[in-house]
Structure 1
């Protein structure tokens, strides 16, 4: 019987991992199924651009996986049962249950409201395509008004910074502000922080530092110091959270719900399960947990696929580099910051800013899209090379 591999999620980590497995495993021995709720591949790293009014490509997953032998199941994951090796899904036909021998968990993350009242009801965010389009519609409405409108972005992480600068550049008629819990750009070097401040000044972004948010209402934000800030569109960018599905299924998770894995991205509690991307709590080569990021999705996905292929074929499992090398921040379409970090995850003194940094960031995004949406690249040659790979039982694969 074929070894059944199910990949949950077709974001950067899941789609790339599925394509890599299809390239490296013989279709005579392995059956790969990808489960995803949406029919399109979402460039999450560019959703702030989509919200600001730009067009962002969203390839259809059916086209992405065409010719690979990968089965695509458009459905929402509702539960995992690692003891029975089964996944429950829901779709337009009512859903059902899928059995697996190896599960690759890549359900990613979503916006975290941190329990702040009013965020779910009144705030916008950019962690999904529908949410970004909803914000875009609101910005379109405000831009058409004679009096314009005010946009307040809460959160000064990379998502908040990229979102507020993109909106300010694309919607110059709107009043745009950023709420930062601490100092703006605190993780950056002194030079990069200065560059970020100059960019905000140039784009007309008002920055409110050392400010906490207590509640979000329909037309204002209430701050911890009692101040009320008027807002026609509040964008929540104050962190990410993962689905509770892994914890509910009995997998070993952190307090935040991320699956605890070993060096090969294999679950410490259930060896038939691997986790990648934001869903995984993986320790990097510097001994620190990898942050939720596209870069982490890439290296954890590379490591997990190497481990799965190695265990199925009896080959030596190679170790991918688990390193977070730095931050690539866009500040609109013509400016950016590239900030490298050291082995202690601290910003190095030197940075790159300006148009060159923006071009490099754009190139990274294009490469990420190409690599994810072209899983058939080199497929025939690899298939010929691996056609004689022996079948491996599920029990042996997870031993």
Structure 2
């Protein structure tokens, strides 16, 4: 019996689970267990919509896995014992594994700045996003500080500004918004922020978050009735506590096949994995996470057939950013993530982003019912993409 345990049911965990379930249909020697805190699938890349009161589909993981050899165990993973090959859930249940897929992802790092944990909202879960939506709805007028000028911060700030035009929205962080974009895309992004009335304060590092303001390291106090924290992420300490080799950010260091370099029976994918490519360590995105999950599923199937898993190769293709519901900008990129000259803006960009970042739920349903993986292809040079 092949006992496969997958920790986390986000985009990467569910992609791995559904590909494995589809490819092992009819086999009675494979058992897949998915462990997740809730039975609800969270469309994390759309939580900025939830945070502004928009309703997303209520997607339930057991419904997706029904009729397959994969089952869901709800609860919090509290420990991993690599010697016994067991996972402890809620400090009361133990689940044994032959192969473990670590897909627990990352959360906003509110521990880095005093007061962020107590006074800021995050976009890590549907519950947190819904709490922010209620607060914004009752606020009516006032100020919102979105801390972090990365993609999550940009999408949150523009969504809030569009849905709540009476609020004064400030986007504040160390880097300029769109710093990794080409000149044309960056200029369009700056124009969209100005059109929506989003004020930008770059070159400012947050030193403290208070109930009614944020303080920068240069001593400025920025008033805010609501603070949204999107600056930086942290990964679960479980991997380090279990003795897996991790990098300086706590991510599991993998070999070329995405196996832990210290524990080859463990695969690490998504945000909690330090996956090195020719251009450096990959940064966590849905764009790279799902292909890493599909690769891992194929690697396990090769193991079942007595073969060595193949090498994972990935190249980025774009940087899609929504700017509210009616605008967007797409920066196309080279495989290493650096910007190309080509960018898409306006309505065409909205259509593109809604198409390529649409909910993967339908894809997951197809993958549980067929061994084909047609939506995942090999690009030129052997790089895996969606």
TM range (shorter): over 0.9
1:318 and 1:100 mapped to 2: Cα distance?
Answer: 22
Which aligned pairs between 1:31-50 and structure 2 lie closer than 5 A? 31-50=31-50
For the residues of structure 1 that align with 2:106 and 2:216, how far apart are their CA atoms? 26
Which residue number corresponds to residue 20 of structure 2? 21
1:1-399 to structure 2, matched below 5 A, reads 2-25=1-24, 26-90=26-90, 95-113=92-110, 115-143=112-140, 148-284=141-277, 286-315=278-307, 317-366=309-358, 368-378=360-370
Contact 1:338 1:352 in 2 (8 A): yes
Secondary structure of the 1:42 match is: coil
Residues 30-81 of structure 1, C-alpha deviations (whole Å, 9 max, x = no match): 1111111111100000001100111112311110111112111111100111
Displacement after TM superposition at 1:116 (Å)? 0.7
- Would the aligned equivalents of 2:315 and 2:337 in 1 still touch at CA under 8 Å? no
Distance 1:163 1:3, change over 3 A: same
Q: Secondary structure at the match of 2:234?
A: strand
Instruction: Note the residue ranges of structure 1 that are not aligned, 5 or more in a row.
Output: 383-399
Q: Secondary structure at the match of 1:176?
A: strand
CA distance in 1, matches of 2:364, 2:48: 20
Q: Structure 1's 15 and 187: CA in aligned 2 closer, same or farther, altered over 3 A?
A: same
The 2-side partners of 1:10 and 1:372 are apart by 12
For 1:344 and 1:76, the matched residues in 2 are separated by 35
Cα distance between partner residues in 1 of 2:279 and 2:171:
33
CA contact (8 A) 1:290 1:324 kept: no
Please provide the CA RMSD for this pair.
Answer: 1.7
Larger radius of gyration: 1
Q: Using the alignment, how far apart are the partners of 2:241 and 2:357 within structure 1? A: 34
Q: What is the alpha-carbon distance in structure 1 between the residues aligned to residue 111 and residue 73 of structure 2?
A: 32
8 Å contact 2:122–2:230 — kept in the other structure?
A: yes
CA displacement at 1:344 relative to structure 2: 4.0
Q: Secondary structure at the match of 1:291?
A: coil
The alpha-carbon deviation at position 347 of structure 1 amounts to 1.2
Q: CA deviation at 1:251?
A: 0.4
Residue 315 of structure 1: how far off its partner (Å): 4.8
Verify the 8 A CA contact 2:170 2:198 in the aligned structure 1: yes
Corresponding pairs, count? 372
- Choose between structure 1 and 2 for higher RCO, CA contacts under 8 A separated by at least 6 residues: 1
TM-superposed CA distance for 1:372, in Å, is 3.1
2:77 and 2:61 map into 1 onto residues whose CA distance is 17
Q: Any gaps of 5 or more consecutive residues in structure 2?
A: 374-386
Structure in which a larger fraction of residues adopt strand = 2
| Alignment check: 8 A CA contact 2:77 2:88 kept | yes
Q: Distance in 1 between matches of 2:100 and 2:248?
A: 22
Taking the aligned partners of 1:6 and 1:176, their CA distance within structure 2 comes to 43
What TM-score comes out, normalization by structure 2 length?
Answer: 0.93
Aligned-partner Cα distance in 1 for 2:293–2:212: 42
CA distance in 2, matches of 1:267, 1:166: 38
Local SS of the residue matching 1:150: strand
Q: CA deviation at 1:319?
A: 4.5
Equivalent in the alignment of 2:384:
none
CA contact 1:87–1:98 (8 Å) conserved in 2: yes
Q: Is the Cα–Cα contact under 8 Å of residues 125 and 235 in structure 1 kept in the other structure?
A: yes
Could you say if the C-alpha distance between residues 207 and 353 of structure 1 is closer, same or farther in structure 2, counting changes exceeding 3 Å?
Answer: same
C-alpha distance in structure 2 between counterparts of 1:243 and 1:221, whole Å:
26
Alignment check: 8 A CA contact 2:148 2:173 kept:
yes
How big is each residue's C-alpha offset from its partner over 1:254-294, in whole Å with a ceiling of 9 and x where there is no partner?
A: 1111011111111110011101111111113x331111110
Q: CA distance change for structure 1 residues 343 and 12 in 2, over 3 Å: closer, same or farther?
A: closer
